[in-house]
């Protein structure tokens, strides 16, 4: 499990054929390749297709199974794909469902483009993905193990993923040793809501660049709530981020850093307006061309940019079309 750009979370499970050093090395290399491909922006299906190609050069990777999913807590959507791996389980209250879409054969066996699936997820759902070692028993078909897992998940309550993992393993194994490796990963699919006031205005105060990531998440959530397109959201985030960086880094030069406030609202002319306020004064642009690039980028992203300087500080107003 790892974090992706845009506040998304990735979850991956897999299994290789065989045991020993070769199998462990193959799994390690596949994990690194999966992570780097996902961080580069590949979709779940593209991640699996990339592993198909890469696995040809990895000893012990042939016929490996891989499951990969991405969860967006702002849009509350789950995208997933499976190359021969057992299906993930989604638990919502006492309702348990196996996600059987987006399936294709193990690595190196696909004969067509790999599919993926997507779905809207209710907040508070628990996603459970596991290895076959959790289910397999001698003289028992895999469907029996899947039924046992579903019944165990139906009885679980609470929102602690670690407790879910512990209880599922105990329910499935009884604490006894197993003949195969057991992997269980649980992810609570929560949401991120924008902290707006009663009129729908988003207002956040930042004190350092460390506050930038949560501010971007909140602004993206606000943009989704106001039904901005993906392109509009990206432009708004990039322009606002540059304005915030400028204020945080340049407004208080030569004295202790002060607050910077971001305000996002709907305008009166079918526009989205973001204001970035500080109580300082930006430094003048340098002659080496390094300064001023932030404002150039903001102007490229926005329909209109206005910078107001006063004795109280600096306000940058960024306007983008609503549609």
Beta-carbon contacts of residue 164 (< 8 Å; ≥ 6 apart): 126, 128, 156, 158, 186
pTM comes to: 0.75
Q: Cα(40)–Cα(50) distance, rounded to whole angstroms?
A: 12
Taking only the tens place, the pLDDT of each residue in 24-49 is 999 999 999 999 999 999 999 999 99
Residue with tokens 């959201």: 233
Contact at 8 Å (CB) between 80 and 68? yes
Superfamily of chain region 2-189: PPM-type phosphatase domain (3.60.40.10)
Contact at 8 Å (CB) between 254 and 321? no
What is the pLDDT tens value at each position of the chain, 323 positions in all? 998 987 889 999 999 998 889 999 999 999 999 999 999 999 999 999 999 999 999 999 999 999 999 999 888 899 999 999 999 999 998 899 999 999 999 999 999 999 999 999 988 899 999 998 898 887 788 999 999 999 999 988 777 899 999 999 998 887 666 667 888 999 999 887 777 888 889 999 999 888 998 899 899 889 888 888 888 888 899 999 999 998 888 877 767 778 999 999 987 777 889 999 998 876 655 545 554 567 777 888 788 889 888 888 889 999 888 76
Beta-carbon contacts of residue 294 (< 8 Å; ≥ 6 apart): 242, 243, 245, 246
CATH 3.30.565.10 in the chain, residues?
202-321
Contact at 8 Å (CB) between 8 and 78? no
- What pLDDT does residue 82 have? 97
- What pLDDT does residue 2 have? 92
Residue length of the chain: 323
* CATH architecture classification, 202-321: 2-Layer Sandwich (3.30)
Beta-carbon contacts of residue 302 (< 8 Å; ≥ 6 apart): 235, 239, 318, 319, 320
């Amino acid at each position: 499990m790892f974090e992706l750009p845009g506040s998304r979370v990735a979850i991956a499970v897999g299994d290789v054929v065989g045991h020993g050093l070769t199998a462990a090395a193959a799994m390690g290399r596949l994990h690194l390749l999966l992570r780097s491909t996902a961080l580069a922006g590949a979709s779940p299906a593209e991640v699996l297709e990339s592993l198909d190609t890469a696995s040809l050069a990895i000893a012990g990777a042939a016929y490996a199974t891989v499951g990969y999913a991405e969860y967006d807590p702002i849009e509350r959507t789950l995208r997933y794909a499976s190359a021969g791996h057992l299906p993930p389980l989604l638990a919502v209250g006492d309702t348990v469902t196996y996600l059987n879409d987006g399936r294709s054969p193990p690595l190196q066996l696909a004969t067509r483009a790999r599919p993926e699936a997507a779905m809207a997820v209710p907040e508070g759902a628990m996603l459970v993905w596991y290895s076959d070692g959790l289910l397999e028993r001698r003289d028992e078909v895999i469907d029996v193990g899947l039924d046992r897992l579903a019944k165990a998940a139906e009885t679980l309550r609470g929102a602690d993923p670690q407790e879910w993992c512990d209880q599922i393993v105990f329910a499935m194994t009884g604490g006894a040793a197993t003949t195969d490796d057991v992997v269980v990963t649980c992810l609570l699919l929560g949401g991120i809501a924008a902290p707006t006031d009663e009129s729908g205005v988003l207002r956040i105060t930042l004190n350092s660049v460390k506050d930038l990531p949560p501010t971007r998440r909140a602004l993206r959530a606000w943009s989704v709530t106001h039904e901005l397109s993906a392109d509009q959201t990206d432009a708004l985030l990039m322009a606002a981020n540059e304005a915030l960086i400028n204020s945080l880094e340049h407004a208080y030069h030569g004295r202790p850093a002060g607050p910077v406030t971001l305000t996002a609202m709907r305008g009166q002319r079918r526009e989205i307006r973001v204001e970035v306020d500080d109580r300082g004064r930006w430094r003048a642009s340098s002659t080496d061309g390094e300064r001023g690039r932030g404002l150039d980028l903001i102007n490229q992203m926005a329909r209109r940019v206005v910078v107001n300087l006063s004795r109280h500080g600096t306000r940058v107003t960024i306007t983008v079309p609503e549609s």
